[in-house]
Amino acid sequence: MTLLDEPKAAAQPEDISVLIPEARRRTRLRRLVIATVVIAVIAGGVATTTQSVYRTPPVAKQTTAPKLPPLIPVADGETLSSSTVMGLSMLTPHSGYGVSSTQWDSWSGRPRNSFITFTSNAGSSWRVVAPLPTVLWGPMVTFVSPTVGYVAGTQQSHSLFVTTDGGHRWRAAHITGQPLTLTSSGSTVWVTAQVCLPSDKGNTSLCPTTLSAFRAGASSPSNAAVIPTDTTVLLSLKKIDGALNLKVISTQLLAQYGPMSGLASQGGDTPEVLVQTTNGGQTWSTIATPCWGQGQIRARAVTSSTWYLFCSLDGGMEQGNDYIYRTTNGGQAWHLLAQGHIQGLNTNGLRDSVPAIVGSNTSGSVVWFSDITGVIVTSANGGQTWHYRDEGRLLAPQWTSQGFDTVGNAVFEASPYGGVLHSTNGLTWSYVGKVRLVP
């Protein structure tokens, strides 16, 4: 009983007073540690997030020009196909020089290299003579002999070059402006170029045209001057556009039919004036033309007195009005051979075509033109009746600036996209080799 009734020992007050504060202290310490950890984690996360934003800012996508594939080397003496030829000058019906390119930009269709080449088999194959000093777009080429020749790029400033050793070496020839045409007759080479003045402000349609005459092999012209504008043209322009301070406008050389003689037109779409020089461009005289008010002029000079004129007024949709004339007395009188009209007023087989490039055989008995769609239209009786020979889009005639190269009865034409158009009589036409497709 004593054990059961024995009172329990009371807790010591000093122990309780020590344990409770200690427990509270540890609890506060634990909470403080947890809070510190949480704050550190949150702060670290915010810092990491903030740091990552500044380290990896959003970058706008940048468009870069596509990298062009490397140029494939072309060796001197290498044989190229006719599909590489973009300009040519034939010395005989079987031999001549060309400007060839083997690689083009796929997005623009422009060549990336240019070579002078030679053919001895009527254009079937072309042997590389040497690379040209620069890449030529829309190349023009004329050789006056097997050793002396000139090349130029259409509307490429300072792109006239001359060779005197058959194309192996070239040097720059002096020219002001951008070449428009390159022709030769005998041992005289003519180059027309467009010169735009600062005051023109880019209105190139009113830029004057210069004619430079070179003696074969020379790098500087023997004569160079601006082709003056006919007074009648300036008066007509003033009536249309008001007061003008212009003294000269752009001119188109139509034909060089002798070392010192040639025809040109001026005046834009309408009116048109035909001018002639017989002294290498030193002076020009106006010739009465039936094309006045009938649009642009194309011309083929067979002799000094027998010329064909093709007047065309583009009506859109690859159609228009065209008139074909001939003179046998140097422009004193003209005879209308045929006409085509967009409304169907057609005569002698002509339709509503718009001539782009014209040509004829040496005698002028066979004459032809390619319209702006690439169709070849021919006449075998001096322009009396006309036939549409090739209805396909031939590509070569409508874009080149050089025109047909006639040697005897053989005719050649090069496409700026590569390929040689050939005829042995001016009546039937075919491509020599395979033509490169336009991109």
Domain of 432, in residue numbers = 69-171+396-439
Name the CA dihedral angle for 350, 356, 357, 360, rounded to a multiple of 10 degrees: 10
Q: Is residue 136 part of a domain?
A: yes
What integer pLDDT is reported at residue 428 of this predicted model?
A: 86
The answer to whether residue 84 sits within a structural domain is yes
Q: Is residue 54 in a domain?
A: no
Q: Is residue 298 part of a domain?
A: no
The structure tokens 């033309």 sit at 289
In a domain, 138, yes or no: yes
Radius of gyration of the chain (CA): 39
Q: Give whole-number Cα distances, 292 to 104, 216, 273, in Å.
A: 41, 36, 7
Question: What is the overall mean pLDDT for the chain?
Answer: 79
pLDDT tens-digit readout, 297-354: 899 999 999 999 998 877 666 677 899 999 999 999 999 999 988 887 899 999 888 8
Cβ partners under 8 Å of residue 163, min gap 6? 116, 147, 148, 149, 150, 169, 170, 171
Q: How far apart are CA 291 and CA 301, in angstroms?
A: 16
Whether 89 is in a domain gets the answer yes
- Look up tokens 């494939």; give the residue: 72
Sign of CA dihedral 431, 387, 378, 295: negative
| Residues of the chain where predicted confidence (pLDDT) is lower than 50 | 1-29, 32-62, 202, 204, 393, 395-398, 439
Residue 369 resides in a domain: no
* pLDDT score at 356: 84
- What's the pTM? 0.79
Give the pLDDT score at 368: 92
Closest alpha carbon to 268 in 288, 244, 240: 240
The tens digit of pLDDT for each residue in 63-103 reads: 555 677 888 899 999 999 998 998 999 999 999 999 999 99
Count of domains observed in the chain: 1
Q: Evaluate whether residue 82 is within a structural domain.
A: yes
In this prediction, what percent of the chain has a pLDDT beyond 70? 73
Sheet with 115-119, edge to edge strand ranges: 79-81, 125-131, 115-119, 96-100, 85-90
